[in-house]
């Protein structure tokens, strides 16, 4: 609080920064289309929620537990850790239950089956009660100490502080290359505002989370949805560590499937591509017509009608099949969405208060909280 003339108190004017980019990047890329926000500093969060989706992570749990315990000791606020067991087939649930019995800050959500990483993450976000919420994976590739830097950005007034990878240790050249292509393709297909080299590791304010929780799509792409809700966002750059234990849950096949889900559930670009493909095939047909006319005029040797007929038929047939296939993907996703099935089902919760569980309106629960 500052003193003005006449002894009156007034608040300092908040900073004005460009959304979603570090200041240096913003000066390079700002074109008048980015939203500008009043960046008002806020106090350190009174409570921090850490959401960790888990699927067959038994080998990583001992190291995860040690890292989380060390981080909570450093935290200058109350903390809760929400572990979402996404239908694991190993001893994950037994290990995290032992952890929760010894520490009331460890909360468990047991899903009825394997719904997938994005659905499990959604379940954890729905149950989070902190002023700020962090989403992170269980493999410790994203170091927990980076959260302290995210909290600094939160206190500066940013509503989203997302981790942006500068270096990826312990990964093959092929893995790094495919990851690099994945983020650039997603930026083109999904959203120009989607930050590159950024996964689901991020901190969100309560007001941003409440906006995100209103989006109940069946096919989910959380990092794109977080970009869509807006609010001031900033990158926190860090070096990604090797996986602590176990194996990746996103091999190339799943990464491609995830990219396709993101593109078709969050963008109409594939439909536009089919339109341009149709124009291309039409132009090719015109070229074939011109070539046939010139062949007759100048007496060029041709097998009458054969090549042009086959090329045009196969070209048009291919374009039609691709277009119908992409359109069918959209129709199929509409069909699944209009059924309005719950995104996930919860069989049990541990260390979660009944009033909090009752506040989760959208999803079904089959057992009381414990």
Residue 243 in domain: yes
pLDDT digits (tens, 9 = 90+) for 104-139: 999 999 999 988 888 999 999 999 989 999 999 888
pLDDT, greater one: 82 or 3: 82
Residue 292 shares a structural domain with residue 175: no
Residue 302: per-residue pLDDT: 61
Q: What is the mean pLDDT of residues 140-154?
A: 90
Residue 334 shares a structural domain with residue 349: no
Is residue 75 pLDDT above 60, yes or no? yes
Residue 306: per-residue pLDDT: 64
Residue 198 in domain: yes
pLDDT, greater one: 299 or 326: 326
Residue 222 shares a structural domain with residue 347: yes
Residue 46: per-residue pLDDT: 92
Residue 3: per-residue pLDDT: 43
Residue 155 shares a structural domain with residue 277: no
Residue 262 in domain: no
Residue 14: per-residue pLDDT: 40
Contact 124, 84 (CB under 8 A): yes
Residue 183 shares a structural domain with residue 60: yes
Residue 230 shares a structural domain with residue 309: no
54 in helix, strand or coil? strand
Residue 51 in domain: yes
User: What residues does 204 pair with on adjacent strands?
Assistant: 133, 160
Q: Is the pTM of this model over 0.75?
A: no
Residue 2: per-residue pLDDT: 41
Q: What is the mean pLDDT of residues 180-188?
A: 69
How far apart CA 82 and CA 87 sit, in angstroms, is 15
Q: What domain range is 324 assigned to?
A: 269-338
Residue 260 in domain: no
Confidence of residue 255 (pLDDT cuts 50, 70, 90): low
Confidence of residue 309 (pLDDT cuts 50, 70, 90): confident
Listing DSSP states for 94-109 in one string gives HHHHHHHHH-TTEEEE
Contact 75, 44 (CB under 8 A): no
How far apart CA 64 and CA 70 sit, in angstroms, is 10
- Angle formed by the axes of helices 306-338 and 252-266, nearest 10°: 80
How far apart CA 182 and CA 196 sit, in angstroms, is 9
Number of domains in the chain: 2
Residue 279 shares a structural domain with residue 315: yes
Residue 245: per-residue pLDDT: 60
Residue 42 in domain: yes
pLDDT digits (tens, 9 = 90+) for 265-299: 666 667 677 767 777 776 776 776 677 677 767 76
Q: What is the mean pLDDT of residues 243-248?
A: 60
**In whole angstroms, what separates CA 119 from the centre of its chain?**
11
Residue 279 shares a structural domain with residue 203: no
Residue 93 shares a structural domain with residue 209: yes
Is residue 20 pLDDT above 70, yes or no? no
Is residue 33 pLDDT above 50, yes or no? no
pLDDT, greater one: 359 or 117: 117
CATH code for the domain in which residue 200 is found = 3.90.550.10
Q: What is the mean pLDDT of residues 27-44?
A: 63
What is the rounded average pLDDT for all residues in the chain? 75
pLDDT, greater one: 225 or 70: 70
Contact 239, 165 (CB under 8 A): yes
E strands, the chain, are: 2-3, 9-10, 15-18, 36-39, 47-54, 78-85, 106-111, 132-135, 160-168, 202-205, 233-240, 345-350, 364-365
Backbone angles phi, psi at 356, to 5 degrees: -70, -45
Confidence of residue 308 (pLDDT cuts 50, 70, 90): low
pLDDT digits (tens, 9 = 90+) for 40-52: 889 999 999 999 9
Contact 133, 51 (CB under 8 A): yes
Residue 345 shares a structural domain with residue 334: no
Residue 205 shares a structural domain with residue 103: yes
Residue 97 shares a structural domain with residue 114: yes
How far apart CA 37 and CA 215 sit, in angstroms, is 23
- Assign residue 205 a region (left: φ > 0; alpha: ψ between -120 and 50; beta: otherwise): beta
Q: Percentage of the chain surpassing pLDDT 70?
A: 63
Residue 99: per-residue pLDDT: 92
């Amino acid at each position: 609080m500052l003193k003005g003339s006449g002894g009156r108190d007034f608040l300092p004017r908040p900073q004005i920064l460009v959304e979603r980019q570090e200041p240096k990047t913003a000066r390079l890329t700002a074109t008048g289309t980015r939203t500008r926000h009043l960046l008002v500093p806020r106090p350190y969060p009174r409570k921090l929620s850490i959401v960790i989706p888990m699927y067959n992570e038994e080998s990583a749990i001992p190291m995860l537990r040690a890292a989380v315990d060390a981080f909570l000791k450093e935290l200058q606020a109350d903390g809760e850790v929400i572990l979402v067991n996404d239908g694991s087939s190993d001893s994950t649930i037994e290990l995290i239950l032992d952890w929760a019995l010894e520490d009331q800050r460890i909360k468990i959500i047991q899903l009825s089956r394997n719904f997938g990483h994005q659905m499990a993450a959604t379940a954890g976000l729905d149950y989070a009660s902190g002023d700020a919420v962090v989403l992170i994976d269980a493999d410790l590739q994203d170091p927990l100490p980076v959260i302290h830097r995210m909290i600094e950005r939160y206190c500066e007034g940013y509503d989203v502080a997302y981790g942006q990878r500068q270096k990826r240790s312990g990964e093959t050249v092929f893995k790094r290359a495919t990851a690099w292509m994945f983020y650039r393709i997603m930026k083109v297909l999904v959203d120009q505002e989607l930050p590159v080299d950024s996964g689901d590791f991020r901190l969100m304010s309560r007001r941003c989370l409440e906006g995100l929780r209103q989006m109940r799509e069946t096919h989910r792409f959380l990092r794109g949805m977080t970009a869509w809700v807006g609010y001031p966002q900033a990158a926190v750059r860090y070096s990604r560590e090797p996986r602590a234990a176990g194996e990746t849950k996103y091999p190339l096949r799943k990464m491609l499937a995830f990219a396709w889900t993101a593109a078709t559930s969050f963008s109409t670009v594939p439909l536009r591509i089919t339109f341009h493909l149709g124009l291309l095939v039409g132009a090719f047909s015109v070229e074939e017509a011109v070539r046939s006319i010139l062949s007759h005029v100048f007496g060029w040797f041709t097998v009458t009608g054969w090549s042009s007929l086959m090329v045009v038929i196969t070209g048009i047939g291919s374009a039609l099949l691709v277009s119908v296939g992409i359109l069918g993907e959209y129709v199929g996703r509409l069909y699944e969405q209009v059924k309005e099935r719950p995104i996930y089902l919860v069989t049990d919760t541990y260390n979660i208060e009944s009033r909090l569980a009752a506040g989760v309106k959208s999803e079904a629960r089959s057992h009381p909280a414990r």
